[in-house]
Each structure stands twice: as C-alpha cells, then as structure tokens.
Amino acid sequence: MALVNTFEKEGNFLFKHRGEIPIVLFVAAIPVIYFTDINYLNHQSQNIITYIAIALSFLGLAIRSISIATTPKGTSGRNTKEGQVAESLNTTGIYSTVRHPLYVGNYFMWIGIVLFTFNWSFVIIVTLAFWLYYERIMYAEERFLERKFGDTYMNWANNTPSFIPSLKNYTKNTVPFSFVSILRREYSGVLATVVGFVFIYDLRMYFENSGFELESTAHYILLAALIMVMVLRSLKHYTSVLKEEGRS
C-alpha cells in the first residue's frame, strides 16, 4: 500500500478511537506518579506549577469553546466516530488562524493535566506521542476535505497553519458566538479535565500517605462538575432549552 494511503488509513483508525486517549493517559500516569520524586520542589514551586497546569488546561478548553461556539451545523468540525463528515467548510473566525483548533485545544487541555504530575519527561513524551497520533488524524481529515472541496479547501489550507495559530489572515467569523452551544457540547470536556486533575491528585495523596483525602477542595470541585454535567445532560436530552436552529 502506498505511504499516502497508509497514513490516511491509520488516521481514520486513530480518529475512530481517539476517545480512548484519556484511558491510556490515566493508566500511564500511575507508574509516573509512583516513581516521580517531587522533593526537589518546595511547596511554593509546586503551587506555581499547579497554577500553570490549570491555566494550560483552561486555555485548551477556551480554544475548544471558541471553536464550538462559532461552528454552524454541517461543517467540517462535525466529524463522527464512524468517519469524516462535512457539508461545508469552516474558514472564518478561529479557523482562519489555524486549521485544527479543536486539536490544539485538546493538546493544551491534556498537557495541563500531564504537567500536574511534576514529571518533565512525561510532559515531553506525551507531547511527542500526541503529535504522532494527531498528525495521522489531521492527515486523514485533510485528505477527505481536499477530495470534497477541492480548490476551495486547498486555497484556505495553503494560507492557514495546521497547528500553530497565526493572526496574519484573520477573517471575522460569519457565525455569531453561542454560549448555549458550549453548554450543550462541551460539558464532557470540562468533566474530563476535572477528573484528570483529581485523579492525579488522588494518586499522589495515596502514594505519599497511603490514603485519600475525600474532604478536599479537589473533590468538592469534582462534585460540582458532576452536578453540572447531570443538569446540562438532562437539559440537552429531555428538554429544548439548549436547542438552537442551525447549530449542531
């Protein structure tokens, strides 16, 4: 099989299984936390790294939210687990600064959690693994879009970076920002982020103290996130409160 076809086939396979990435990271984090010696970091340094880690994850969520809030129905951002789907092409707003803003958001969201392990080698390894993984996915997605939209896609792609944003060719979004879209579609991302941080926190507490501290700020935040998700999920599936015309 030609290399170009191999890359596309691998990308489509990885795309369908991208939801399993958090499980892999959580499993990998167990030995990382166990063997990571953080005694070289004083309490203040640990707090600073923790704040930076949280900020990175919230940056990722913000990038994802902007993408989701300005995405109309049937665009290239609405791909499914079964395969690529696109009735039209996103080329304005955040998509005029970078071709794959959702994947950029995913990176920052997860690298923040990884940084919270205080293991620099793990941060580098996950960064490299993320790039190898999503490079194939982006390749398969772009091949699909190239075949479907032809020169329209190529003209946009040739002037828009794939992963590192650039404001040089920024074009104002034609779709209004919708906070309702964020509430409807991004609550799972918020919960996954909170679960990731609490998971790392609990692992560290267990390995250091042979037990968990249930009455902690981390667990109160997790409880609040769970309640938020249950409320938003119920509103999404059992009411019309979060429904919008012309939105996915």
pLDDT of 174: 82
CATH code of residue 150? 1.20.120.1630
Asked if residue 228 belongs to a domain, the reply is no
pLDDT band at 187 (very low <50, low <70, confident <90, very high): very high
Residue 230 lies in a domain: no
- Answer yes or no: is 205 within a domain: no
Instruction: For residue 182, name the pLDDT band (cuts at 50, 70, 90).
Output: very high
Q: Are 103 and 138 in contact (CB under 8 A)?
A: yes
Q: Is there a contact between 212 and 39 (Cβ–Cβ < 8 Å)?
A: no
Q: What is the DSSP string of the chain?
A: --HHHHHHHHHHHHHHTGGGHHHHHHHHHHHHHHH---TTS-HHHHHHHHHHHHHHHHHHHHHHHHHHHT-BTTBTT--BTTB---SB---SGGGGT-S-HHHHHHHHHHHHHHHTTT-HHHHHHHHHHHHHHHHHHHHHHHHHHHHHHTHHHHHHHTTS-SSS---TT----SS---HHHHHHHSHHHHHHHHHHHHHHHHHHHHHHHSS---SSHHHHHHHHHHHHHHHHHHHHHH-STT--TTB-
Lowest mean pLDDT segment, chosen from 78-92, 132-146, 214-228: 78-92
- Does 90 reside within a domain? yes
Instruction: Let me know if residue 207 belongs to a domain.
Output: no
Distance CA 99, CA 103 (A): 9
Is there a domain that residue 240 lies in?
A: no
Amino acid identity of 164? I
For range 7-21, the mean pLDDT: 76
| Any domain includes 49 | yes
23-32 pLDDT, tens digit per residue, is 888 899 999 9
**What are the Cα distances from residue 227, in Å, to 200, 233, 238?**
21, 10, 16
In a domain, 191, yes or no: no
What Rg, from alpha-carbon coordinates, does the chain have?
20
Percentage with pLDDT > 90 across the chain: 59
Containing structural domain, residue 77: 3-178
At residue 115, the pLDDT reads: 97
Q: Please state the rounded mean pLDDT for residues 65-88.
A: 67
Number of independent structural domains in the chain: 1
- For the chain, report the end-to-end CA distance as a whole number of angstroms: 36
